[in-house]
Chain A
Amino acid sequence: MIDCHYLEPTSVSEACTLLAEHGDGAKVVAGGQSMAILLRNGLSQPSHLISIQHVTGLEDINASNEGVTIGAKVTLNRLSGIGETHPTLRALDDVVSDVADQQIRNFATLGGAICEAHPASDITVALSALHATVKLAGANGERTVPICDFVTGAFATAAGPGELLTEVVVPSFDLASAAAAHRRFALRAGDYPVVGVGAFVSLDGSGNCEDVRVVIGNCSGAPAHAQEAEARLRGNSIVGNNGALAEAGELAAAHVSPADDPMAPSEYKIDLVSVLTREALEEAIARATA
């Protein structure tokens, strides 16, 4: 283990300055729930750990006309039940209580869950279905990036050196005609999912599909967008149309070519994509028409 320093900035700007100063050797520690393992395994060997524990202003949840803004340091336990206060976040609420266990959720932060960029991350899949954006602060100011462009591959993000994820924005949508849902399958409670699928649908005045998103987790490095499944549904009648939803499930399954992993072989994951896509779509439609 190389010599490692531990720094505790108290503001976003101080954190960004330290990150920029120490470049590639600097790593953020939020809840530490992934970082502690990366450090122990030697997968991360930073010269400077920048703990954001004492950074203020990253713990708020605020709703406005544009959407709901969630601070990067909000813990996953705090997000449990968030769909009741902020109904546009129900798809996120679908997953938070299934992530790991209460010990981990007590300290795991939303920002950390995204920046870890684990291929099986439930949080990223749910937020991608919701078209969330992330705000990054850096020494040269702020920028906003759609979450689908932020996670670029397995354990890789678009955060540049010196950039800190400060908040996540989930845009508002009309709850009377649109909704999202997330479905996952894990081998055991507390495990990362074998496959997770997030779906968003919005309906036009005659009940046809106006917009749709299907996002698949753990079948590629970054979450995959099942565009063929989306194209099958967009503009078509989907309420109660089980045939169309089943076809969308099959198109989503055809979209991915996952590698075997210790949890499941590729074919098994492909079958799961088909089933979970249909179920997530059904649930989203049920919510949008409730």
Chain B
Amino acid sequence: MKYPLSLTVNDENYDILVEPYHTLMEAIRDGIGLTGTKCACEDGRCGTCTVMVDGQLVKSCLMLGLQANKKSVLTIEGLGAPDDLHPLQAAFLEHGAVQCGYCTPGMLLTAKQLLDENPNPTEEDIRSAFVGNLCRCGVYTHATEAVLSVAGEEEK
């Protein structure tokens, strides 16, 4: 049985219908059509589907869409725009922290949450923040450097 799901995604309101067992990831990608949130393992392991719900980081394949009803979601599309990159996006490009790019949306949101909570993280803090984000291309070192370069600078 389908239920109405009302989400604010990147400051825009969406009203869609979902089955109770549909995940937030399915709601975002298939229901709303925002495909920047990636889908890889659908098992909670890779972190490519990471988004923020009411300011808290979550793997969107591990949350039912209806659990996010009436909540505010930030996806990669809301972080910056091609002509107005978020400082973390610019830093990822500059430090070569993007290879195939599949893990990048999740990595960037994880980095954003880290800096929101701790504007001056150590390298160790950054590495432990990335525990839930796997990168098959192995950009961890570059991503860590990118976050360090933004740390302490004015957050957007």
Which of A's residues lie within 8 Å of B, judged by CB? 1, 3-6, 29, 31-33, 35-37, 39-40, 49, 51, 53, 100-104, 106-107, 189-190
Are A101 and B132 in touch, CB under 8 angstroms?
A: yes
> Are B20 and A107 closer than 8 Å at their CB atoms?
no
Q: Does B131 contact A (CB under 8 A)?
A: yes
B143 CB to closest chain A CB (Å) equals 15
The SS class assigned to the B binding surface is mixed
Specify which of A4, A32, A100 is in contact with B132 (CB 8 Å cutoff): A100
Provide the bound-state CA to CA distance between A190 and B43, in Å: 13
With contact pairs A4-B1, A103-B57 given, residues A40 and B20 touching in the complex (Cβ less than 8 Å): no
Q: Which residues of A contact B58 (CB under 8 A)?
A: 103, 106-107
B44 near A104: Cβ-Cβ < 8 Å: yes
**C-alpha gap A217/B64 in the complex (Å):** 29
Interface string of B109-144 (1 = CB under 8 A from A): 010010000000000000011011000000000000
Give the one of B1, B20, B23, B64 with max A CB within 10 A. B20
A39 to B24, CA, bound (A): 13
CB distance B1 to A104 under 8 Å? no
Q: Does B75 contact A (CB under 8 A)?
A: no
B residues neighboring A (CB under 8 Å): 1, 3, 19-21, 23, 42-45, 47, 50, 56-59, 61-64, 66-67, 110, 113, 128-129, 131-132
Does A103 lie within 8 Å of B50, measured CB to CB? yes
In the complex, chain B residues whose CB is within 8 Å of the CB of A35: 64
Most chain A CB atoms below 10 A, which of B3, B19, B45, B62:
B62
A107 to B132, CA, bound (A): 14
Contact A101 B23 (CB under 8 A): no
Q: Which residues of A contact B61 (CB under 8 A)?
A: 36, 40
Residues on A with C-beta less than 8 A from B59 are 103-104
Ordered by A's residue number, 16 sampled pairs between the chains whose C-beta atoms are within 8 Å are A1-B19, A4-B20, A4-B21, A32-B63, A33-B63, A36-B62, A36-B63, A37-B42, A37-B43, A39-B21, A49-B20, A102-B110, A102-B129, A102-B132, A103-B59, A190-B132
Known contacts A102-B129, A103-B59, A190-B131; is-contact A33 B44 (Cβ 8 Å): yes
Please indicate which of the listed interface residues A3, A32, A33, A103 has the most CB atoms of chain B within 10 Å of its own CB: A103
A103, B67: Cα distance in complex, Å: 15
Residues of A close to B131: CB separation below 8 A: 101-102, 189-190
B47 to A103, Cβ gap below 8 A?
yes
Contact (Cβ within 8 A) A40 B132? no
Instruction: Give A279 Cβ to nearest chain B Cβ, in Å.
Output: 22
Compute how far the CA of A37 lies from the CA of B59 in the bound complex, rounded to whole angstroms. 12
- Complex CA–CA separation, A32 to B58 (angstroms): 11
8 further interface pairs, Cβ-Cβ under 8 Å (given A29-B64, A49-B21, A106-B56): A1-B19, A32-B64, A37-B43, A100-B44, A101-B47, A102-B113, A103-B62, A107-B62
User: Out of B20, B44, B63, which one reaches A5, CB within 8 Å?
Assistant: B20
Q: Report the separation of the CA atoms of residues A104 and B50 in the bound assembly, to the nearest whole angstrom.
A: 10
Instruction: Write the nearest CB–CB distance from B44 to chain A, whole angstroms.
Output: 6
* CB-based contact B21/A40 at 8 Å: yes
A22 to chain B, nearest CB (A): 13
Query: What residues of chain B lie closer than 8 Å to A53, measured between beta carbons?
Result: 67
Give the distance in Å from the alpha carbon of A180 to the alpha carbon of B5 in the complex. Answer: 45
Please determine whether B57 and A37 come into contact, CB atoms closer than 8 angstroms. Answer: no
Bound Cα distance from A32 to B22, whole angstroms: 11
**B51's closest neighbor in chain A, by CB?**
A103
Note all chain B residues with C-beta closer than 8 A to A107. Answer: 56, 58, 62-63
Q: How far is the CA of A3 from the CA of B19 in the complex (A)?
A: 9
- A35 vs B58: C-alpha distance when bound (angstroms): 14
Selected from B1, B23, B57, B132, the residue in CB contact (under 8 A) with A36 is B23
Q: Give the docked Cα–Cα distance between A285 and B3 (Å).
A: 54
